[in-house]
Amino acid sequence: MRFQILGSSAGKTVPRPFCRCRVCEVARRDGGRHVRTRCAVHLHLDQDEGPEPRYGIDMSPESWGQLIREGVAGDHLAHLLITHTHADHLDPLLLGMRGSILSEKKELTHLRVYGSDSVEEQLVGLNLDKLNASWQRVTPLEPFTVNELQVTPLRANHGPGTALNYVVQHVDETVLLAWDTGYWEAETWEAVTDCRFDGVISECTILGPGPVDRDSRHLNFATLVDMKLRLTQMGCIDESTPWATLHIGDNGGLTYDEQVELAEPQGVTVGYDGMWFAPQISA
């Protein structure tokens, strides 16, 4: 499996419109990895041919621009996992554009969308049949099949509603996708007791200095390191397991380069728009 982080920001882009903070000013001036758009990820399997993605996780309002940046149309997208209903992760308007294409609609790959019952409520206004799409409700801790993938939803600690993290398995690879995570509650920790992850992509909404905060609905860097240590002690990962971040805001007060300086000594790769991530299978 290979994952591409299309959008690496939290709920607000970096730079934020109207904002003159130091982080946003550096992003405007220097561009590149300092600029972040909202959350979306594509998953590519080794046997996939060509650059067109077949699997996606979340679809933000900037996803159309992210596809343009990568030079793909998205018409081959066949499966879309949604973590939760917040606007930076699910844009029903963008999904609705499938119905207005001028190319041959019969050539548009059927899209199956997966998520919680609260996601289903957000899709009520869409006629999925006319969009050549369908819906599948998923339930925390109940595994389901997504074509070649086995997926287990985990309950995130992200406030009212059901925000999901996903454990994705393909052949002998297992990756944890955990954003809008918060510090997990006991049910989720128990659910991963016997898991062995070959890679982790997690949020770090507040990627900057600060104390461990297990009560927040998002991770700061100290809480991320705390969770990483606990997963290591449980045997779910080891020191060589790749760990990358996304859902990063300007909240931590650090530029991209400063974030890297903070995170890399802890074995954490700071994600950025367009970055590729691959798991590492232990011997």
**Domain ranges within the chain, ordered by starting residue:** 2-277
Beta-carbon-side half-sphere exposure of residue 149 (alpha carbons within 13 Å): 22
173 neighbors 187 (Cβ within 8 angstroms): no
Q: What does the pLDDT look like over 67-82, one tens digit per residue?
A: 999 999 999 999 999 9
Query: Locate tokens 């398995």: which residue?
Result: 169
Q: How confident is the model at residue 226 (pLDDT cuts 50, 70, 90)?
A: very high
Please, what CATH class does the domain formed by 2-277 belong to? alpha beta
Residue 219, number of CB atoms within 10 A of its CB: 29
Structure tokens at 23: 């982080």
User: Which residues does 227 contact at the CB level (< 8 Å), separation at least 6?
Assistant: 183, 184, 202, 219
Q: What does the pLDDT look like over 245-274, one tens digit per residue?
A: 999 999 999 999 999 999 999 999 999 999
Query: Locate tokens 């397991």: which residue?
Result: 241
Q: What is the mean pLDDT of residues 203-208?
A: 96
- At 86 the pLDDT is 94
Strand partners, 251: none
Q: What does the pLDDT look like over 145-165, one tens digit per residue?
A: 999 999 999 999 997 777 999
- Do the strands 269-270 and 243-246 form a parallel or antiparallel pair, or are they unpaired? parallel
- Do the strands 133-137 and 144-146 form a parallel or antiparallel pair, or are they unpaired? unpaired
> What is the maximum span of the chain, computed from C-alpha positions, in angstroms?
54
Alpha-carbon separation of residue 229 from 74, 241, 257 (angstroms)? 37, 12, 24
pTM over 0.75: yes
- Backbone phi, psi, residue 261, to 5°: -60, -35
Tell whether the model's pLDDT for residue 281 goes beyond 80.
no
Q: What is the mean pLDDT of residues 160-189?
A: 94
- At 117 the pLDDT is 93
DSSP line for 35-94: -B-B-EEEEE-TT--SS--SEEE-B-TTHHHHHHHHT---TT--EEE----STTTB-HHH
273 sits in the region (left: phi over 0; alpha: psi -120 to 50; else beta) called beta
Q: How confident is the model at residue 282 (pLDDT cuts 50, 70, 90)?
A: low
Which secondary structure element, helix H or strand E, spans residue 231, and what is its range? helix 221-234
CA distance 135 to 128: 8
